[in-house]
Structure 1
């Protein structure tokens, strides 16, 4: 059972991990290149999750064919995410890269929620969300100016 606190902690851990990964990939990107850093990130990540999946779940992927076809593009989208993080962090720095990445995430998320795209529940953009996005955009400008 997920409690509000556990959900907040998992989300915060994810945010910290994304930032740490960004810096690590920035170093790899500078020394090896974007494609090579993405490759190493995915190979090492795939090997680790394969082991964890086999140990804890027995590797049950029997239902994958029941998924909508477009959900399987998540791996391709992940390549864009990981590649853009490594590329932008190594050139802009961690703060500037992640403030831009985060702002783009919020805007895309608001649009996806507004229209219920990709299987999302419709959650209309209201004035509160618009004000939050506006405040965030001010933060982006203050951070990268």
Structure 2
């Protein structure tokens, strides 16, 4: 079962690269911020429809939830907008490689510290070497 998740995660990563490239092109046509807005409007409509049929949560809890838990939306906007602006400047490969390295570093810190409800996982030397090699790959791509 884990193998299916790994495959799904790889496909999702591939989809993010395609998405970033598509929205960078759209940003050149309609504007960078407008491209990001389009992404979130379309996503909101699709998720709203899906929620009508399959939603099982309590969306009204949003007003009661701790405000720090709601910052994911802001982070998503920053992520996509940086890609829309950055991909035409540095390319899809370098932008996505940089994103992956940033994700790896932050995920290692979150797990090492046990932040955000994550189980504590100590950083092993192999992980540090892997991140270092990915940083080297960014410089080689550049």
Q: CA deviation at 1:68?
A: 3.4
Matches of 1:19 and 1:131, distance apart in 2: 25
- 1:66–1:8 CA distance, 2 compared to 1 (3 A): farther
Report the counterpart of residue 78 of structure 1 in structure 2: 76
Superposed, which structure 2 residues align to 1:28-39 within 5 Å? 28-39=26-37
Give the SS at the match of 1:125: coil
Task: Give the TM-score of the pair, scaled to structure 1.
Answer: 0.88
CA displacement, residues 96-133 of structure 1 (integer Å, 9 cap, x when unaligned) = 11111111111111122221222222212111111111
The answer to which of 39-48 and 120-129 deviates more is: 120-129
What do you get for the CA RMSD once the two structures are aligned? 1.8
Give the SS at the match of 2:71: helix
Report the counterpart of residue 101 of structure 1 in structure 2: 99
- Residue 89 of structure 2 is aligned to residue 91 of structure 1: yes
For this pair of structures, how many residues does the alignment match? Answer: 142
Report the counterpart of residue 134 of structure 2 in structure 1: 136
- Residue 115 of structure 2 is aligned to residue 117 of structure 1: yes
Report the counterpart of residue 48 of structure 1 in structure 2: 46
Task: Give the TM-score of the pair, scaled to structure 2.
Answer: 0.90
Matches of 2:61 and 2:5, distance apart in 1: 26
Runs of at least 4 residues of structure 1 off by over 6 A?
A: none
- The answer for unaligned runs of 5 or more in structure 1 is none
Give the SS at the match of 2:110: helix
CA displacement, residues 9-62 of structure 1 (integer Å, 9 cap, x when unaligned) = 221121011111101111012222221111111001100111011122267424
Matches of 1:67 and 1:58, distance apart in 2: 17
